[in-house]
């Protein structure tokens, strides 16, 4: 494992090193020390490498990630895994606002809680939260899966499209056009796989499923008055 001291190396040089890795690279394992809550750590990585961050991070850690497995041994600031394409990002602590925003693919695992707007405008990413999530989570979520082992705040799934939301605990309120839906066998199988990937010991049968009522897909003249 190659160790990178962020305070000594600087953010630009550190990210350049990680971004230069390719599918054929020999150096697969990287360790970042002294992150001290810095922003934009390990953004734009596009290689099947393992990156471990020893401490908490600031804004946009792991943004635009492709292929890499990024492990944050601490908590993450706003926008972790923003616009993620593939790979896995694991947060050992809590995540701040809009975790996994606009994510197109890959898996984001948050072992603690996530703040407001978790999964906002998600476009295919899978997000597994061991704890609770804040208000307006999955706002305008288009596709992908959001798994919450704890509780969800106000306006869950507001203006949702076709993403699937699985919540084990209580939901304070549902957003516009978001409803509880039947949990069918195929959904239990999807959820079982996500729980395994997120290393959760919860059972799929303990969850409820939420999704779009599909009433906002078409313009209705009555709503214009």
- For residue 221, tell me if it sits in a domain: no
User: How many helices (H) does the chain have, and how many strands (E)?
Assistant: 3, 11
Q: What is the tally of structural domains in the chain?
A: 1
Q: What is the pLDDT of residues 157-201, one digit of tens each?
A: 999 999 999 999 999 999 999 999 999 999 999 999 999 999 999
- For residue 225, tell me if it sits in a domain: no
- For residue 131, tell me if it sits in a domain: yes
- Whole-angstrom distance, CA of residue 78 vs CA of residue 84: 14
> What is the structure's pLDDT at 134?
98
The pTM of the full predicted model, rounded to 2 decimals, is 0.96
Domain region containing 147: 2-215
- Whole-angstrom distance, CA of residue 108 vs CA of residue 126: 6
Q: What is the pLDDT of residues 23-55, one digit of tens each?
A: 888 899 999 999 999 999 999 999 999 999 999
Q: What is the pLDDT of residues 112-154, one digit of tens each?
A: 999 999 999 999 999 999 999 999 999 999 999 999 999 999 9
């Amino acid at each position: 494992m190659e160790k990178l001291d962020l305070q000594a190396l600087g953010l630009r040089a550190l990210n350049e090193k990680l971004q230069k890795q390719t599918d054929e690279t020999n150096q697969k394992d990287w360790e970042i020390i002294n992150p001290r809550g810095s922003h934009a750590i390990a953004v734009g990585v596009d290689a099947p490498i393992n990156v471990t961050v020893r401490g908490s991070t600031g804004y946009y850690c792991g943004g635009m990630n492709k292929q890499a497995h990024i492990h944050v041994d601490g908590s993450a600031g706003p926008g972790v895994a923003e616009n993620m394409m593939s790979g896995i990002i694991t947060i050992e602590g809590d995540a701040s606002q809009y975790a996994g925003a606009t994510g197109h693919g890959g898996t984001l695992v948050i072992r603690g809680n996530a703040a407001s707007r978790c999964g906002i405008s998600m476009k295919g990413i899978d997000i597994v939260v061991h704890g609770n999530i804040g208000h307006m989570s999955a706002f305008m979520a288009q596709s992908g899966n959001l798994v919450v082992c704890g509780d969800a705040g106000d306006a869950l799934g507001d203006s949702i499209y076709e993403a699937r939301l699985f919540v084990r605990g209580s939901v304070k309120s549902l957003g516009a056009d978001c409803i509880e839906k039947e949990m069918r066998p195929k959904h239990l199988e999807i959820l079982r796989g996500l729980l395994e990937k997120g290393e959760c010991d919860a059972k799929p049968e303990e969850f409820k499923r939420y999704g779009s009522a599909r009433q906002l897909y078409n313009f209705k003249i009555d709503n214009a008055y």
